[in-house]
Amino acid sequence: MQRKLSARQVRMIALGGTIGVGLFMGSSSTIRWTGPSVLISYGVAGIFLYMIMRALGEMLYVDPDTGSFAKFASEYMHPVFGYLTAWSNVFQYIVVGMSEVIAIGGYLEFWWPHLPNWLPGLIAVTFLCIANLISVKMFGELEFWFALIKVVTIILMIIAGLGLIIFGLGNHGRPIGISNLWSHGGFFTGGFKGFIYSLAIVLASYQGIELVGITAGEAENPRETLVEAIRSTVARILIFYIGAIFVIVSIYPWDKLSQIGSPFVQTFAKIGITAAASIVNFVVITAALSGSNSGIYSASRMAYTLANNKQLPHRFLLLNRHGVPFYAVISVSAGILLGVVLNAVLPILLPAASNVFVMVYSSSVLPGMVPWFVILISQIKFRKLHQDKMAQHPFKMPLSPISNYITLAFLVVTLVFMFFNPETRISIIIGVLFLAMMTVIYFRKYHKNTTQN
């Protein structure tokens, strides 16, 4: 592996990892649960995610290595947790990558309605696979530009929205104001239960924020780069998410959002940008490419970590001449490509194929939260074992271990409410079954080798 990811690229990887298609096309669904108070949901979740990232940052500063949080789970908890973390990451990113390449086919229908739905996905996966094989620097450069497009779009949308709210730009000079925040059933329209339910969806939208930890083994000047990325990323994500959602729920009555399509398209169109739909469609295509690109990178590095622990065949450790794990990248790309095959075959075999796929996609939510749990728990043990390094440590987790326990409790409560919510219960059950299956496999195949070593 080669340290070729620049500070500029790592910052954008960290930032772009959590700004996905969900914000551009799915923001109306998060607002549906609890109305305008979803702003508080994003803020609360953002604070706890900052704690998780600080716990990760404290450990990375001492030990910046590839597959970081899976490695920390094995060292500071138990090897089974390192195994589960790595496989959860692989599972999460392959499933998300599958959904993204399917989405690309749907988005391109906007311009070419007769284009075979599977073709854009096939081209996208092939292109991203080749780019990831060329070098980690190529992955970083692609991700930098994908993320930059998303960030610029959100900033322009916030500026345009504030123009509407404050100056009436696009509304005949009549400022819209912010009365929509409370004039359609109040701020907390879904009550306490709706607010708690919304946290599950909001947390899912933040998944991927820990991707910066996987870059640790291939970042230039990893200590300085990662600390700066973690320090700035959560604040920026909060600004982008809360800023964008604030503009949306101020301009449009929250209970009418389901009728207007993408709020981003409508906001740009309202101020007179006639090509708004095409612009936002281009942006969501880049967001989908970004999700698949990150998925190939992250899952291949976790596969490398599993092979390093002798939990995958040795060939997954083999690097090409550019320092990239060749077989890991190829295998993950093939897994994501399965999404293209499913998209072509399932509608023929199963009439309700779209519902089946949504079920599979949602099953990544619980495995996607596994790294957060292991980061918080590992850091408590890490600090006990490295007390000599804590005195001069410049990036310590604030208020640890109390902040760890509070954050863990928040994650557990959210998962419990996901089980009680009929719309998210199936995703929790599938996630639990996946983790149970992988635990059984670990203890049947690898536990003896671990204890002997």
Q: Is residue 2, in this structure, part of any structural domain at all? A: no
For residue 263, the enclosing domain spans 7-447
State the pLDDT at residue 331. Answer: 94
Spatial separation of the C-alpha atoms in residues 6 and 225, rounded to whole Å: 8
Q: Is residue 348, in this structure, part of any structural domain at all? A: yes
Q: Before 401, cis peptide (omega within 30)?
A: yes
Q: What is the mean pLDDT of each run of 10 residues along the chain (453 residues)?
A: 66 68 65 85 89 89 74 90 91 84 81 86 91 84 86 87 88 87 85 82 78 67 74 76 88 78 74 81 86 86 88 90 90 89 71 54 79 94 88 86 96 89 82 92 80 53
Phi-psi region of 185 (alpha: psi -120 to 50; beta: other; left: phi over 0): left
**At 369, which CATH number?**
1.20.1740.10
> Cβ distance 169 to 237 under 8 Å?
no
State the pLDDT at residue 217. Answer: 62
pTM for the model stands at: 0.84
Q: Is residue 205, in this structure, part of any structural domain at all? A: yes
Q: Is residue 453, in this structure, part of any structural domain at all? A: no
Q: What contacts 235, CB < 8 A, 6 or more positions away?
A: none
Phi-psi region of 63 (alpha: psi -120 to 50; beta: other; left: phi over 0): beta
Tokens 């074992």 -> residue: 385
Total domain count, the chain: 1
Q: Is residue 1, in this structure, part of any structural domain at all? A: no
Q: Is residue 452, in this structure, part of any structural domain at all? A: no
Amino acid at 432: V
Question: 394: which DSSP letter?
Answer: S
Q: Is residue 191, in this structure, part of any structural domain at all? A: yes
Spatial separation of the C-alpha atoms in residues 377 and 371, rounded to whole Å: 10
Q: Between helices 263-270 and 276-308, what is the axis angle to 10°?
A: 150
Q: Is residue 224, in this structure, part of any structural domain at all? A: yes
